[in-house]
Chains A and B, each alone.
Chain A
């Protein structure tokens, strides 16, 4: 049991490193070989370490085995003559000379290069996140399926298709040219952002898995910060956003894995260290004059780390949402902006604006918002909207929450009815 735990921990940390480095050696077109070698290595570890005993240094053992397997493979296939020999100009017993560099620096570089290789607009964003989870984070197919609330076959197919597409596009595992970094980084950051959100907003019941997703997104974003050419304000902004969100991790999910809404969270469970980190990286993000959606979202998240309601807080949040929406529309931002408007300028004003959002009438979140806005002003209307929301909501967690609101509203109505009699 102990060994199994060790192997699964090592799997999580070493799988991605070995895959990135070996894929760098073989090239993206042969990434399957790299993945197979890494899988074989871990399989062998499970067998050997179970029977005998643990090697002194399990990580070094894994590296040696993987290296040997890679060299064997090169020896026995034509890849070497076709591809590698062209780049290495050695003349005798060349395969012996191949350096499979598993130094920390090369591991980090390989992972960064792999990040740029995977995050390509030619494949759908969802597939990019999936590939990132598999190759950059070492997640198993079953874990990825769990995170996406899907099944193994679907995920397998999706990843295979994505890899094939990247091969067709002759994607290379390398750093983009300096002039290209900004443009390429956009796709990388969006994928990391989605990866984080997949963990943060997922309705998967597996709380530990969700937290892992967020931590992996943070780790990869931090790799970009540690690498000088990519230590840009926009990257710092995204990292600070992640820190602020992650600071509420312990407070936003209860023992049953249910979500606790912001207003109901125990703020003593908020992580001060992450809030401080978020603030520091937001300051670092303010260098230069670039204002991205990550800057604005991070600033909004910063205001949310201040528990006390104040006019200043909500007015600032409202103005940040205004700017965010002007920069880039999203349904979530439209809804949150209207909520902030209610907090800053009152529900009456927010109702007028909410009624204009006719493009969102198919969303349960929209009707939940109207339910909230009308409650205490026109309870009958509030109830109608909550019931519409209940009909539109797709998953159980959301249905439960709306149901709770309906019950609370009915109870309030009943009490008010009695007191007026």
Chain B
């Protein structure tokens, strides 16, 4: 089994102000997703969520606001899973709840040092 990084991406203008009730609704699919991975014993690291605020540091003392890779796309968080191959890891990622809200998952194999 190898380890794969799942990078959760979503739209940058994603609303981040929620009521408690809305938060509960958002949290359930994510907890069920993580719990499902853990139940298969393939969750290596639940990872973390990332705050939407960020800065990008470039050469020559240039710092810009915004953590966007491309316009309008933002990394919302990441997890690490175990899978036999990149294809299998991609197959597993199909169950990620970010897909239901218009986001996507980047799957990358972690190369051991």
CB <8 Å contact, A357 and B40? yes
Give A329's nearest chain B residue, CB to CB.
B41
| B55 contacts A by Cβ under 8 Å | no
Known A318-B32, A337-B35: A326·B43 in contact at CB below 8 Å: yes
Contact check: which of A319, A323, A333, A353 meets B36 at CB < 8 Å? A353
Interface of A, secondary structure class, is helix
Q: Which of B31, B35, B40 has the most CB of A within 10 A?
A: B35
| B100 contacts A by Cβ under 8 Å | no
Taken together as a complex, chains A and B put the C-alpha atoms of A325 and B37 apart, in Å, by 9
Taken together as a complex, chains A and B put the C-alpha atoms of A338 and B40 apart, in Å, by 11
Q: How large is the interface on B (under 10, 10 to 19, 20 to 34, 35 or more residues)?
A: 10 to 19
Give A319's nearest chain B residue, CB to CB.
B31
Q: Inside 8 A of B34's CB, which chain A residues have their CB?
A: 322, 326
Give A353's nearest chain B residue, CB to CB.
B36
Q: Inside 8 A of A322's CB, which chain B residues have their CB?
A: 31-32, 34-35, 38
Taken together as a complex, chains A and B put the C-alpha atoms of A308 and B102 apart, in Å, by 38
Tell me how many residues of A have a C-beta within 8 Å of chain B: 19
CB <8 Å contact, A326 and B46? yes
Q: Inside 8 A of A326's CB, which chain B residues have their CB?
A: 34-35, 38, 43, 46
| A334 contacts B by Cβ under 8 Å | yes
Q: Mark B29-69, 1 if CB is under 8 A from A, else 0.
A: 00110111011110100100000000000000000000000
| A389 contacts B by Cβ under 8 Å | no
Give A328's nearest chain B residue, CB to CB.
B38
| A393 contacts B by Cβ under 8 Å | no
Q: In chain A, residues 199-233, which have Cβ atoms closer than 8 Å to a Cβ of chain B?
A: none
Q: Inside 8 A of A333's CB, which chain B residues have their CB?
A: 39
Q: Inside 8 A of B36's CB, which chain A residues have their CB?
A: 353, 356
CB <8 Å contact, B38 and A325? yes
CB <8 Å contact, B39 and A357? yes
CB <8 Å contact, B35 and A359? no
Q: Inside 8 A of A318's CB, which chain B residues have their CB?
A: 32, 35
Give A337's nearest chain B residue, CB to CB.
B39
Q: In chain A, residues 355-390, which have Cβ atoms closer than 8 Å to a Cβ of chain B?
A: 356-359
| A301 contacts B by Cβ under 8 Å | no
Taken together as a complex, chains A and B put the C-alpha atoms of A194 and B35 apart, in Å, by 24
CB <8 Å contact, B31 and A359? no
Q: Inside 8 A of A356's CB, which chain B residues have their CB?
A: 36, 39-40
| A235 contacts B by Cβ under 8 Å | no
| A341 contacts B by Cβ under 8 Å | yes
Q: Inside 8 A of A358's CB, which chain B residues have their CB?
A: 40
Q: Which of A315, A322, A323, A329 has the most CB of B within 10 A?
A: A322
Q: Inside 8 A of A321's CB, which chain B residues have their CB?
A: 35
Q: Which of B31, B32, B38, B43 has the most CB of A within 10 A?
A: B38
Taken together as a complex, chains A and B put the C-alpha atoms of A329 and B46 apart, in Å, by 12
Taken together as a complex, chains A and B put the C-alpha atoms of A322 and B38 apart, in Å, by 8
| Chain B proximity of A403: nearest CB distance (Å) | 28
CB <8 Å contact, B38 and A359? no
Taken together as a complex, chains A and B put the C-alpha atoms of A359 and B40 apart, in Å, by 7
| Chain A proximity of B28: nearest CB distance (Å) | 8
Taken together as a complex, chains A and B put the C-alpha atoms of A319 and B28 apart, in Å, by 8
Q: Inside 8 A of B41's CB, which chain A residues have their CB?
A: 329, 334, 359
Q: Which of B31, B34, B39, B43 has the most CB of A within 10 A?
A: B39
Taken together as a complex, chains A and B put the C-alpha atoms of A319 and B35 apart, in Å, by 8
Taken together as a complex, chains A and B put the C-alpha atoms of A325 and B40 apart, in Å, by 9
Taken together as a complex, chains A and B put the C-alpha atoms of A329 and B28 apart, in Å, by 20
Taken together as a complex, chains A and B put the C-alpha atoms of A359 and B36 apart, in Å, by 13
Give me 8 other A-B pairs in contact (C-beta within 8 A), A319-B31, A358-B40 excluded.
A319-B35, A322-B35, A323-B31, A325-B39, A326-B35, A329-B43, A333-B39, A338-B39
Shortest 6 CB-CB distances between A and B: which pairs?
A322-B35, A325-B38, A334-B39, A322-B31, A329-B41, A326-B38
Sample 21 A-B pairs with CB under 8 A, ordered by A number.
A318-B35, A319-B28, A319-B31, A321-B35, A322-B38, A323-B35, A325-B39, A326-B34, A326-B43, A329-B39, A329-B41, A334-B40, A337-B35, A338-B39, A341-B32, A353-B36, A356-B36, A356-B40, A357-B39, A357-B40, A359-B41
